[in-house]
Structure 1
């Protein structure tokens, strides 16, 4: 197992990022960068871990992060000019970057709103995304991406919505070199995020919304959305709006916009 080459990443990513660090093990890269944010770490600081012992996803679910099997990274962003309400669309920006990567690696992948990347004919989960705002005087957010590069092992259980974990290697990725993969992913994210930031967080103005609509398999599906407070919504996912909210039309024809929730795909609508 080859370790991620921090020196190579710094050389390749100088310019788009202020700092890139790789650690052998940590509890959570997102948690580490939340602390670093308060301590004044600069915009576009990157932290990558070979292993996470307390990685988390949405609703504080554990994210399996075994040593050497994937890329577990977080980016601290201080997007001046982007309002707090627009920060939720950052997960969509990151999802597009992951699918830019999978396309370059020759892996068939698609997006599931709001933060999952699915791969292969069986559509297992190969990546998860978590964006967390940081309490500070200025707008700041920590964006985490967990990407399975190699198989995790049979002991890893299905995640939210019954999604089975999968990896890039299991779907014919042209390389499993994690240094190369991290470099391609972070370069793709830098390009996408720069457009998003320049547009004030508006996905449509940034020219990202149509890409997302084309890559999001949630659209056109009958879905059950599990909402905060144990409520749920059943209907057809019809669109994603410029702020990243999912548009669902229920069985009575009423239109709902969903800012946050877990989505279960039931079936495609003919």
Structure 2
């Protein structure tokens, strides 16, 4: 089980990235880059960890990050072209990059709104994405991606809605070489993020929203959305708009726009 080869990544990916660092262990790559952002770290700084001891996902849920088991990376971005309100769409961009990767590896995967990548016939959670905007002298965003390369084991608890974990190895990916996978992922992200940045963060003008809709298995399903404050909404997911918001049609025909929440897939309609 070889470690991720930082020199190989730098040779391939600097530029477009400014720096790429691989560390043996850290609490959270996102937390480290949030600190670095405040201290003035450059646009497109990348931090990858062999393991995280305090990895987190949305709503501060723990993210299992065992040594050598996956790709745990964060990227600091300073997209001056994108208004602060548009930084939240970066999770959509990252989701497309991850599914570009899985397609290239021959792994069956799809997106679940807002930031999960599901894989395999049982649609387990293979990757999660966390984008955290930072208000400093210059607005920035830290984008974290956790991708399971090898099986996590039976002791890892299910996520929201009982979603079980999955890994690239379990769904037929052509390689589990983590250096190759990290390089492919960062390359896909650079391409997608570059188009997003060039369009000032507008998913429609960047040509990304239609692709996201095509890859998002939440659309067309009956869903339960777990909202902040222990509220929930049940209905049919019918659209994701250019701002990344989910539209849900309830049983009475009312349309609801969901800005954030955990989605549970119930059944196809």
Same fold per superposition (TM over 0.5): yes
What does residue 46 of structure 1 align with?
A: 46
User: Once the 2 structures are TM-superposed, how far is the Cα of residue 93 of structure 1 from its aligned partner?
Assistant: 0.5
Write the mapping of 1:17-96 to structure 2, written as runs, cut at 5 A: 17-96=17-96
- Runs in 1 of length 4+ with deviation above 6 angstroms? none
Task: Give distance in 2, aligned partners of 1:158 and 1:209.
Answer: 29
User: Once the 2 structures are TM-superposed, how far is the Cα of residue 253 of structure 1 from its aligned partner?
Assistant: 1.2
User: What CA deviation, in whole Å up to 9, does each residue of 1:93-141 have, x standing for no partner?
Assistant: 0000000000010000000000100000000000000000112122200
User: What CA deviation, in whole Å up to 9, does each residue of 1:136-186 have, x standing for no partner?
Assistant: 122200000000001111111111111100100011111000000000000
What does residue 122 of structure 2 align with?
A: 122
What does residue 13 of structure 1 align with?
A: 13
What does residue 252 of structure 2 align with?
A: 252
| Contact preservation (8 Å) 2:246, 2:259 | yes
| Contact preservation (8 Å) 1:240, 1:247 | yes
What does residue 157 of structure 2 align with?
A: 157
SS of equivalent residue, structure 1 residue 195: helix
Task: Give distance in 2, aligned partners of 1:235 and 1:130.
Answer: 25
Task: Give distance in 2, aligned partners of 1:164 and 1:55.
Answer: 17
What does residue 266 of structure 1 align with?
A: 266
| Contact preservation (8 Å) 1:70, 1:148 | yes
Quote the RMSD (CA, aligned, Å). 0.7
User: What CA deviation, in whole Å up to 9, does each residue of 1:194-234 have, x standing for no partner?
Assistant: 11111111111100011101100000011111111221111
SS of equivalent residue, structure 2 residue 235: strand
1:100 aligns with 2:100: yes
Task: Give distance in 2, aligned partners of 1:258 and 1:246.
Answer: 5
In structure 1, runs of 5+ residues without a counterpart are none
| Contact preservation (8 Å) 1:201, 1:243 | no
In structure 2, runs of 5+ residues without a counterpart are none
SS of equivalent residue, structure 1 residue 236: strand
TM norm structure 2? 0.99
Task: Give distance in 1, aligned partners of 2:84 and 2:238.
Answer: 25
Task: Give distance in 1, aligned partners of 2:241 and 2:96.
Answer: 15
What does residue 225 of structure 1 align with?
A: 225
User: Once the 2 structures are TM-superposed, how far is the Cα of residue 14 of structure 1 from its aligned partner?
Assistant: 1.2
TM norm structure 1? 0.98
Task: Give distance in 1, aligned partners of 2:79 and 2:229.
Answer: 30
What does residue 209 of structure 1 align with?
A: 209
Number of residue pairs aligned between Structure 1 and Structure 2: 269
| Contact preservation (8 Å) 1:221, 1:267 | yes
User: Once the 2 structures are TM-superposed, how far is the Cα of residue 70 of structure 1 from its aligned partner?
Assistant: 0.2
User: Once the 2 structures are TM-superposed, how far is the Cα of residue 81 of structure 1 from its aligned partner?
Assistant: 1.7
SS of equivalent residue, structure 1 residue 175: coil
